[in-house]
Amino acid sequence: MDGSKKVIYLLFLGLLATSFPAILVRFAEAPAITISFYRNIIAAGLIFPLIFLHKTKISDFRNMAIPVLATSCFLALHFWTWNASLKMTSVASSLVIVATQPVWSAILGRIFLKEKVSKRGWLSIFIALSGIAAIAMTDIGASAGSLRGDLLALAAAIFASLYLVMGRSVKDKIPILYWLFTVYFCASLILFIPLAISKAPMGGFTTTTWLMFFLMGLIPSAVGHSLLNYSVRFIEAYKAQLGLLLEPLVSSILAFAIFMEKPPAAFYPGALLALFGVVLGISERGRTKSLSGNKTWPRR
C-alpha cells in the first residue's frame, strides 16, 4: 500500500476511535479525575506488551525524560479539563470547542517546529473555527456551569495540541511504542497526585463504570490516540487534528440517540461550516515525510 494512503487510513481509524469517549464518560459514574487516571493506566497496560517487539530497551532513551514528562503533563491536563467540561456542558458544545485543536497546533507548530501553514490551511482553520464559535455561542447565558464547561473544553484543546506537537518533535528520537507507553504511564502517575489529594473515589464503582474505564483505555486511547501519535510523525499535527472536527458530529448524533440530548438549532449550520473547513484542509496535499523516512509526498 502507498505510504501516504496507509497513514490516511490509519488516521481515519484513529479519528473514528476518538469519537466515542464523550459517550463513555457520560456512562461512567465517577469524578473526572478518576476517569482520567483509569483511562491512562489502562491504555499504558494495553501498550506495555507491545514494547517487547523492539530490540532496544526503554532505558536506552533516558535522554527523553524531559520531553516525556512534559508531554505526560499536557496529556494529563487535557483529560482532566476535558472530562470535567463534559460534566458541566453539553456533549455537542464540549466536543466542538475542544476541536479547536488544529488552530493551536498550527500556531504551536509554527513557533516550536518552524512548520509553515499554507494560506489554504489557515483558511480551513478559520472556517472550521467559525462554525465552532457559532455553536459555542449557544451556551453563553445558558448557565454559569455551561460557560465554565466551555472554558475547560478550550483549555483541553490547548493541552491536547501541546501534547501532539511534542510527539511530532520527537518523531526521529524514540520508537512510537516506547513513546506511547511512557507518556500514558507517566500521565497516570501525574493524575494520581491530585486524585489522592482530593480523596476522589478509586473503587466501589458499578460494573458499567468499570467497563467504561476499560473501553476508554482501549478504544479512544490505546487505539485512537496511539494512531494520532503515529500519524503526526508523518504529517503536520494541525492537519491530523483537523479530522477531529468530525468527532462532534459523530458524538452529538450518538448523544441524541442514547441520551435524547438534542443540539440547539445553531449547532447544525455551525457543524456544517466546521465540516467544510475540515474537508478543505485535509484535501490539501503538502510535502510530508514518507513511511520510509527518505521520501516526501509531492504536492498536487
Indicate the DSSP class of residue 58: G
For residue 158, pLDDT over 70 is answered with: yes
Average pLDDT of the chain to the nearest whole number: 81
Q: Letter for the amino acid at 218?
A: L
CB-side neighbour CA atoms (13 Å) of 262: 2
pLDDT at 92: 64
Q: How far, in Å, CA of 153 to CA of 151, rounded?
A: 5
Higher pLDDT, 43 or 24: 43
Query: In this prediction, what percent of the chain has a pLDDT beyond 70?
Result: 80
- Over residues 235-262, the mean pLDDT reads 70
Among 142, 35, 40, 160, residue whose Cα is nearest residue 97: 160
pLDDT in tens, 171-213: 888 999 999 999 999 999 999 999 999 999 999 999 999 999 9
DSSP string, 65-101: HHHHHHHHHHHHHHHHHHHHHHTTS-HHHHHHHHTTH
pLDDT at 298: 34
pLDDT at 292: 43
pLDDT at 287: 46
- Over residues 251-272, the mean pLDDT reads 71
Any residues with CB less than 8 A from the CB of 92 and at least 6 apart, and which? 135, 248, 251, 252, 255, 261, 263, 267
Q: How far, in Å, CA of 205 to CA of 53, rounded?
A: 35
pLDDT at 197: 93
For residue 151, pLDDT over 50 is answered with: yes
pLDDT at 143: 55
Q: How far, in Å, CA of 76 to CA of 161, rounded?
A: 13
